[in-house]
Structure 1
Amino acid sequence: MGPSRTVDVARESGYSVQQVRDLERLGVIPPAGRAANGYRSYTPVHVRALRAYRGLAGAVGPVEARVLLARVRTEPLVEAAAAISAVHVRLTREREEVLRAQEALRAIRGEAADGGPEGGGDAMTITELAGALGVRPSTLRFWEQEGLVAPERVTSLRARRYGVAAIRAARVVAALRAGGYGIPAVREIMASLDRLDGLEATGRVLRERLDRIADRTVALLVAGADLAAVCGT
């Protein structure tokens, strides 16, 4: 039959009794039934929902996890599965962004060793670069205002075009911003890339970002069976 009392659910899910009550109040788990004596009565689904929430919170944060779990519990299976799949896609994209940033950083390191940027390569318009990075053109303009990325300007309309060096810098900036670094910190990091210690420090930052994405991915995978159990409950 599984646990039924609040203390049993807390023990099985790894939360405290108060946390179970708080998460019920927030809608993370379905409302508990009431036993004949008036006490809360839970089912195994409540335990699965709490475990699923723990994994989701590790993958996307507690606020988004609450919203997502509510969708998984109440929407049709097709929509619930799509919502979970979207998280996997997002984590994959974040990982790919960091890998591209690492590649860009290696190129920057090579340029520093050779004494200058490499020639050749295709330039991008602001729309093309924004699409490649998954950001809005206005975000690139903001980065330019903050001194993070320096595009080339051509034509009398001052249309922005980004050369190879600017594209590489933008990839590093995008990865840092996605990792939660504020503008002042990103500016400091980007300014340090002409130094060996700055390049190495940025490399460590990107590796740590990959580690965090891996942890979030594992948390989502661990939650998988519990998410499947609460779909449509």
Structure 2
Amino acid sequence: MAEPVSGPQRAALRTTDVAVESGYSVQQVRDLERLGVIPPAARSSNGYRSYTPLHVHALRAYRGLAGAVGPVTARQMLAELRTGTIAEAASAINTVHVRLAREREEVLHAQQALRAIQAEANTPEFEQDSDAMTITELAGALNVRPSALRFWEQEGLVTPERVTSLRARRYGLSAVRAANIVAALRGAGYGIPAVRGIMGSLHQLDGREGTQRILQQRLDRIATRTVALLRAGADLAAVITAAQEPTPT
């Protein structure tokens, strides 16, 4: 949890004070002000910047948000948090938590699918019709568009069955498991050629172990991003609360 910024809410701080309190360099403080991460500092008659503890809270909040969602999204979120209502701010932050939880769930499903593939290595697979999914059902389960599944099929990553009369796609257990792994790898930022290589090596011992490492690394990164968001909590609250206060006249 961030340490409270000492002094009254409107106490004047120099650029060097803000740098020490926030953990950024003096130049980074100026750059982040220019990018709109923090509101413009007041200027004294001699041209020196004058900050308040709220600027420190905003910079600390930005550090955590940038670690969770990336710098571009963090800048946009902070701008919205400073101008929106408490309900809107809470919804925006909750959306980030939900996104991280969904990403984690995707990786856990992929790990489960990989374990099933490992257990069934060199074993004929028996799939019942009740286990099959339509393209709409599978897309919904993976939170992707049906067009993504069709693209993965074209790239040889996931191979569905088809109902002969309608030529409709139907995904059995092996295809569902493969789709889970592809979705997690794509979510981790792997391009199609890399995913194709990983999927092609799944039935080799080294390939399965390598995929397991990749998925675990993905889980670790999600955990790091989640902790960064949690660390930003108190500073985000300070920014949101200050946004609701009337502007002094």
Shared fold (TM-score, shorter chain, > 0.5): yes
What is residue 29 of structure 2 aligned with on the other side? 20
| 3-state SS in 2 of match to 1:30 | coil
8 Å CA contact 1:24–1:31 kept in 2: the answer is yes
Q: What is the CA–CA distance in structure 2 between the aligned matches of 1:181 and 1:44, rounded to whole Å? A: 41
What is residue 239 of structure 2 aligned with on the other side? 230
Deviations 1:16-65 (A, max 9, x none): 11111111111111111112322111000000000000000000111111
The alpha-carbon deviation at position 177 of structure 1 amounts to 0.5
What is residue 47 of structure 2 aligned with on the other side? 38
Q: What is the CA–CA distance in structure 2 between the aligned matches of 1:3 and 1:162, rounded to whole Å? A: 63
Q: What is the CA–CA distance in structure 2 between the aligned matches of 1:14 and 1:38, rounded to whole Å? A: 24
Q: What is the CA–CA distance in structure 2 between the aligned matches of 1:140 and 1:42, rounded to whole Å? A: 51
8 Å CA contact 2:152–2:158 kept in 1: the answer is yes
Letter in structure 2 aligned against 1:117 = E
Letter in structure 2 aligned against 1:134 = N
Cα 1:152–1:47 shift into 2, 3 Å: same
What is residue 78 of structure 2 aligned with on the other side? 69
Of the structure 1 ranges 83-92 and 30-39, higher mean CA displacement relative to structure 2 is found in 30-39
RMSD of aligned Cα (Å): 1.3
Q: What is the CA–CA distance in structure 2 between the aligned matches of 1:130 and 1:154, rounded to whole Å? A: 18
1:96 aligned onto 2:105? yes
Letter in structure 1 aligned against 2:156 = G
1:214 aligned onto 2:249? no
Q: What is the CA–CA distance in structure 2 between the aligned matches of 1:135 and 1:167, rounded to whole Å? A: 13
Q: What is the CA–CA distance in structure 2 between the aligned matches of 1:13 and 1:77, rounded to whole Å? A: 24
8 Å CA contact 1:3–1:9 kept in 2: the answer is no
What is residue 155 of structure 2 aligned with on the other side? 146
Letter in structure 2 aligned against 1:174 = A
Q: What is the CA–CA distance in structure 2 between the aligned matches of 1:204 and 1:29, rounded to whole Å? A: 39
1:115 aligned onto 2:134? no
The equivalences for 1:78-227 within 5 A come to: 78-112=87-121, 114-120=122-128, 122-227=131-236
The equivalences for 1:48-63 within 5 A come to: 48-63=57-72
| 3-state SS in 2 of match to 1:161 | strand
**Higher fraction of helix:** 1
8 Å CA contact 1:111–1:118 kept in 2: the answer is no
Q: What is the CA–CA distance in structure 1 between the aligned matches of 2:100 and 2:114, rounded to whole Å? A: 21
Of the structure 1 ranges 25-34 and 160-169, higher mean CA displacement relative to structure 2 is found in 25-34
Q: What is the CA–CA distance in structure 1 between the aligned matches of 2:166 and 2:227, rounded to whole Å? A: 48
The alpha-carbon deviation at position 133 of structure 1 amounts to 0.3
Moved over 4 A (4+): none
Q: What is the CA–CA distance in structure 1 between the aligned matches of 2:135 and 2:148, rounded to whole Å? A: 10
Q: What is the CA–CA distance in structure 2 between the aligned matches of 1:85 and 1:169, rounded to whole Å? A: 30
Of the structure 1 ranges 134-143 and 154-163, higher mean CA displacement relative to structure 2 is found in 154-163
Q: What is the CA–CA distance in structure 1 between the aligned matches of 2:23 and 2:153, rounded to whole Å? A: 47
Letter in structure 2 aligned against 1:176 = L
Q: Which runs of 5+ in 1 are unaligned?
A: none
| 3-state SS in 1 of match to 2:37 | coil
Q: What is the CA–CA distance in structure 2 between the aligned matches of 1:91 and 1:64, rounded to whole Å? A: 14
Q: What is the CA–CA distance in structure 1 between the aligned matches of 2:32 and 2:126, rounded to whole Å? A: 55
TM-score (norm: length of structure 1): 0.96
Identity among equivalent pairs (%): 74
The alpha-carbon deviation at position 3 of structure 1 amounts to 5.7
TM-score (norm: length of structure 2): 0.90
